[in-house]
Structure 1
Amino acid sequence: MLYGITAATAALLLTAVLAAVLRVPALRAGIVDRRWQRPLPVPGGIAVVSVTGLIAWTGEWTGVVPLGDGVGRLIVAAGAVALLGLVADVWRLRARVLVAGTAVAAACVVPYDETGAGGGILAVGWIVFSSLAFKGLDHADGLAGTVGVVTAFGAGACAAAEVMDGLAVLLSVFAAALTGFLMHNWRPARVGLGAGGALFTGFLLSSAAVFTRAGYALAPTVGVLFCLGAVAAADFLLVVLARRAARRGPLRRGPGHLAHRLRRLGLTTQGAVVVLGAGCFAAVLVGVLVHTGWAGEGAVLWVAGGAAVAVVVLLRIPVQQPRRTASTQVSARLRVRNG
């Protein structure tokens, strides 16, 4: 208990300091997110991944909190996904490369002896989906970090209920690291999470949830996993439906996410993050209660219904497409001409 508190405190402070230190070098190196009106340096992911891995391996090396079976492999795979995302931050990799790399990493961490072959394939699909959904969730200052912190505490509670102490401590350290990052990411953001940090967050949380539900029946497991990732899943579904109707690629950047549409309703960016954070807390709470047996499996239907209603309602809210400048139009014509 004492080590967990000490480790979480150290993770929060180290991440906050490291993100601030790396901000200027990342800006000079061009490791930035250009979705905003100004280039936003994205060393937040590097700080979160580095600190989480460092503290987790310190607990394993000292023997104070052993990670447990498969958790070390999970950290390595999540780090590999984060590295792939970092490459995407620098060189703008194609979406199919991110999907393939994340799928390979997910296939290496799923506990097939407990899930079975069919369940393992579904688990790999869920991890890939959650990782990409979290990457898409990083569309507003503070949103991905807030949802990540809430989800990490929920997944950690599930791990603690299964007496997976190493995994529970890892998730608490990760939640603290994200909190340290949020000190620089709340609007107006000075540091971003980046594709590396967002993919790491989605991969780690979804894989940890799969670990805690391994061995349970498939139907209730699907319900619990959905509750733990409801906000990211709803955002991804909303974007896919909207862009399919507009005949645009579902993985292309642009407006149309949850926070964008909530802002069109009159909420500020901070207000939209608070609303989505509250929704995430409610969904995660239901997932934890169902996992621990304090609520029936039917409670998941309330979360699914709420997510579906939110998607249908917000889908009817128009969003303003980004204006194409002259330079953007010229670049588009050149891409078309060059194939």
Structure 2
Amino acid sequence: MLYGIAAATAALLLTAVLAAALRLPALRAGILDPRRQRPLPLLGGLAVVIVTCLVAWTGEWTRVAPLGEGVGRLLAVAAGIAGLGLVADVWRLRARVLVAGTAVAAAWVVPYDETGVPGGLLAVAWIVLATLAFKGLDHADGLAGTVGVITAFGAGVCAAAEVMDGLAVLLSVVAAALTGFLMHNWHPARIGLGACGSVFTGFLLSSAVVFTRAGYELGPSAAVVFCLAAVAVADALLVVIARSVARRPLLRRGPDHLAHRLRRPGLAPPGAVVLLGAGAFSSVLVGVLVHTGWTGEGAALWVAGGVALAVAVLVLVRVPVQQGRRPPSTQVSGHLRVRNG
């Protein structure tokens, strides 16, 4: 317990310092978010990855907080995926390469002895989809970090309930590192998460949930993993439906994500993030209660209903989405900034 608190504190402070230190090198190297009108460096995710690995492996090396069977390999594979994301940030890697790499990595970490081959294949598909969905949340200042912190805490509680102490400590370190990153990423952001940090976080969190649910029945497990990723799933569904209706390529960037739609009627950028963060907290809480047995998996239907309603409303109201045009003057002035993703 004491080491977990110390590790989380160290991760928070180190990430805050390292993210600030990496901002200037990223600006000079031109590693910027192409979706922003103002220069936004993208090495904040690298700070999260480095600090998470450093703190977690320190506990493993000193044997103060061993990661446990399979967790060390999970962290190593997640770091490899982060490296692929870093390549995408620097050289604009094709999306299909990132998808293929995530699929191979997921197939490597799934505990087939507990899930079985059919369940393992479903777990691989889920990890890939959840990782890409979480990457899609990196379209607004503070959103991916906020949802990541909440999800990491929820997954950590599930791991602790299964007496998976090493995994619980790792998730607390991830949550703390993302909190340190948020010090620089809250609106207006001074540094971004990028593909490096977003795929690392999404892969690690989705895989951790699979670890905690391995050996359980498929129905309750599906309810838990869905609740822990409900906001990312809702965002992905909204994008897929909106772009399909508009007959636009699914992988083409556009201002049609959750935060974009919420900001169009006039909601301030921090307000949109707080609203989505509250939604993430509610859904993650339901997932934790289902996992610990405080409520049945039927409670996940309320979360699914909320996701379906939110997506339907945002699609059916046809909130205007402008593309290829400069935002209105109020947005250019900094009052509202829209990030296409």
TM range (shorter): over 0.9
Equivalent in the alignment of 1:44: 44
**What TM-score do the two structures reach when normalised by structure 2?**
0.94
Q: How does 1:107-186 map to 2 (within 5 A)?
A: 107-186=107-186
| 5+ residue gaps, structure 2 | 327-341
Q: Is the 8 A contact 1:139 1:257 kept in 2?
A: yes
Maintained 8 Å contact 2:219/2:297: no
1:133-192 Cα distance to aligned partner (Å, 9 max, x none)? 111110000000000000000000000000000000000011000000000000000000
CA–CA separation in structure 2 for the residues paired with 1:32 and 1:274: 25
8 A Cα contact 1:255 1:319, kept in partner: no
Aligned to 1:320: 321
Task: Quickly say closer, same or farther: Cα 1:260–1:324, change in 2 above 3 A.
Answer: closer
Offset at residue 261 of structure 1 (A): 0.7
1:106 aligns with 2:136: no
Displacement of 1:211 after TM fit?
0.2
Conservation of the 8 A alpha-carbon contact between 1:260 and 1:319: no
Q: Tell me what 2:307 maps to.
A: 307
Q: Which residue of 1 aligns with 2:225?
A: 225
d(CA) in 1 for partners of 2:79, 2:315: 35
| Of 305-314 and 32-41, the range deviating more from structure 2 | 32-41
CA drift of 1:249 comes to 1.4
Is 1:156–1:169's contact at 8 Å kept on the other side of the alignment?
yes
What SS class does the counterpart of residue 25 from structure 1 fall into?
A: helix
Give 1:261's aligned residue: 261
Q: Which one-letter code corresponds to 1:322 in the other structure?
A: Q
C-alpha distance in 1, partners of 2:81/2:224? 24
Q: Which amino acid aligns with 1:101?
A: G
User: How many angstroms does 1:215 deviate by?
Assistant: 0.2
Detail structure 1 runs of 4+ shifted over 3 Å in the superposition.
none
Secondary structure at the counterpart of residue 55 of structure 1: helix
CA positional deviation for 1:318 = 2.0
Cα offsets for 1:24-59 (capped at 9, x unmatched): 001111111121111210111100000000000000
Structure 2 counterpart of 1:79: 79
What does residue 31 of structure 1 align with? 31
- Residue 265 of structure 1 deviates from its aligned partner by 2.7
Return the offset for 1:322.
Answer: 2.5
For 1:230 and 1:236, locate their aligned partners in 2 and report how far apart those are by CA, in whole Å: 10
Partner in structure 2 of residue 334 of structure 1 = none
Which stretch of the first structure deviates more once superposed, 126-135 or 245-254? 245-254
Offset, 1:324 = 5.3
Deviations 1:57-101 (A, max 9, x none): 000010011101100110011111111111011111111101000
One-letter code of the match for 2:208? A
- Determine the structure 1 residue equivalent to 2:97: 97
Q: Distance in 1 between matches of 2:135 and 2:155?
A: 19
* Match of residue 276 from structure 2: 276
- How far residue 321 of structure 1 moved from its aligned partner, in angstroms, is 2.2
8 Å Cα contact 2:56/2:170 also seen in 1: yes
Which amino acid is 2:116 matched to? G
5 Å-filtered alignment, 1:182-193, equals 182-193=182-193
**Structure 1 Cα separation of the partners of residues 136 and 113 of structure 2:** 32
Displacement of 1:224: 0.4
Q: Once the two structures are superposed, what CA deviation does each residue of 1:244-300 show, in whole Å capped at 9, x if it has no partner?
A: 111111122111100011112321110000000000000000000000000111100
- Does the Cα contact within 8 Å between 2:213 and 2:221 map onto a contact in 1? yes
Contact in 1 for aligned 2:130/2:233 (Cα 8 Å): yes
**Letter of the aligned partner of 1:71 in structure 2?**
V
Partner of 1:336: none
Q: Which amino acid aligns with 2:68?
A: G
The 10-residue stretch of structure 1 (167-176 or 256-265) with the greater mean CA deviation from structure 2: 256-265
Does the residue aligned with 2:35 lie in a helix, a strand or coil?
coil
What residue number does 1:234 align with?
A: 234
* Aligned counterparts of 1:93 and 1:46: Cα–Cα separation in 2: 16
Flag structure 1 segments of 5+ consecutive residues without an equivalent: 326-339
The code of the aligned residue for 2:270 comes to Q
SS at match of 1:187: coil
> What TM-score, normalized by structure 1, do the two folds share?
0.95
What is the number of equivalent residue pairs in this alignment? 325
CA contact (8 A) 1:256 1:319 kept: no
The alpha carbon displacement at 1:323 in A equals: 2.2
Amino acid at match of 1:142: G
Q: C-alpha separation between the residues in 2 aligned to 1:307 and 1:183? A: 29
